[in-house]
């Protein structure tokens, strides 16, 4: 089968293991069905902004043209740094967008990716956010009424726990096996000042996530369509937003939002 079209990030379904679909133009490829099979993805040279649809020679902030990067609510500074969100004070690039994306329930969570990490997401993005980052398991730490408060908790915790994933380790499935998420949650909450403690989540459920991976590589080599026009091979697995190939190459699909590809399966 041949598919031509712009791609956007894979959609996941939290089955066990996770099921992935790759949107390509108007098609919707059940990409996790192709694990163990030969696939090829060829970049045809065009990139279309996922905000306005215009052709752009370069992609900014994972899929936007330069003007959209500067003006879209999706690329606001608070998306990467929630503590800078000002929507609760009535200040945002687009207040109606902010009402649905910043002034709604947010969750501060702990997840195990390449190690223990803290993160922030909209409550409605769970478990999608955890799957997108390739987490092994995750737990809610706090629930807040908006993005800003969640960001302040994350900042307070960053002194005690990382907020980053080392993707090379995550894709080799290397992580410390002895992390007790419930114990870490209790320990980190105890470090918070009283106001932030009041947001602590009573939900102690641990979500474990399995990915469709036939075999984890011993080493990984990141590649992009800015470097190579064609990426092909036997698909070994999918984790987070990465396709993993038999020659240790890994491709971050989300990084290529808006790239026009030909995909052969
Ligand atoms: Zn645009």
Give 23-80 pLDDT, tens digit per residue: 999 999 999 999 999 999 999 999 999 999 999 999 999 999 999 999 999 999 999 9
φ, ψ at 94 (rounded to 5°): -145, 105
pLDDT of residue 9: 98
Whether residue 200 contacts residue 193, with contact meaning beta carbons closer than 8 Å, is answered with: no
Cα 128 to ligand 1 centroid, rounded to whole Å: 25
Tokens representing 129 are 């956010």
Cβ count within 10 A of residue 16: 10
How far does the centroid of ligand 1 lie from the alpha carbon of residue 102, in Å? 22
Range 153-181 average pLDDT:
96
| Sequence-separated (6 or more) residues with CB below 8 Å from residue 102 | 78, 85, 87, 88, 92, 146, 147, 148
- pLDDT, one tens digit per residue, over 81-105 is 999 999 999 999 999 999 999 999 9
Average the pLDDT over 119-131 and give the result: 98
Pairing of strands 249-252, 221-223: parallel
pLDDT digits (tens, 9 = 90+) for 200-211: 999 999 999 999
Alpha carbon distance 168, 119 (integer Å): 19
CA of 59 to the centre of ligand 1 (A): 9
Structure tokens that stand for 47 in this block? 């990139």
Give 90 Cα–ligand 1 centroid separation in angstroms: 25
């Amino acid at each position: 089968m041949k598919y031509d079209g712009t791609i956007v990030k894979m959609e996941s379904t939290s089955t066990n293991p996770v099921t992935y679909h790759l949107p390509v133009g108007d098609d919707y490829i059940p990409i996790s069905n192709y694990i163990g099979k030969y696939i090829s993805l060829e970049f045809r040279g065009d990139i279309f902004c996922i905000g306005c649809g215009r052709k752009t020679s370069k992609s900014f902030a994972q899929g936007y043209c330069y003007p959209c990067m500067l003006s879209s609510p999706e690329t606001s500074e608070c998306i990467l740094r929630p503590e800078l969100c000002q929507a609760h004070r009535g200040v945002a690039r687009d207040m109606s967008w902010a009402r649905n994306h910043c002034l709604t329930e947010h969750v501060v969570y702990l997840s195990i990716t390449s190690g223990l990490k803290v993160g922030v997401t909209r409550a409605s993005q769970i478990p999608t956010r955890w799957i997108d980052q390739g987490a092994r398991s995750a737990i809610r730490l706090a629930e807040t009424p908006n993005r800003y408060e969640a960001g302040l908790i994350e900042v307070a915790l960053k002194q005690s726990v990382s907020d980053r994933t080392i993707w090379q380790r995550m894709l080799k499935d290397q992580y410390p096996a002895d992390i007790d998420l419930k114990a870490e949650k209790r320990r980190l909450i105890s470090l918070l000042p009283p106001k932030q403690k009041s947001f602590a989540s009573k939900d102690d459920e641990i979500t474990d996530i399995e990915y469709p991976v036939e075999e984890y590589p011993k080493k990984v080599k990141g590649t992009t369509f800015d470097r190579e026009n064609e990426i092909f091979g036997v698909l070994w697995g999918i984790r987070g937003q990465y396709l993993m190939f038999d020659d240790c190459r890994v491709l971050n699909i989300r990084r290529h939002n808006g790239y026009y590809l030909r995909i052969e399966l």
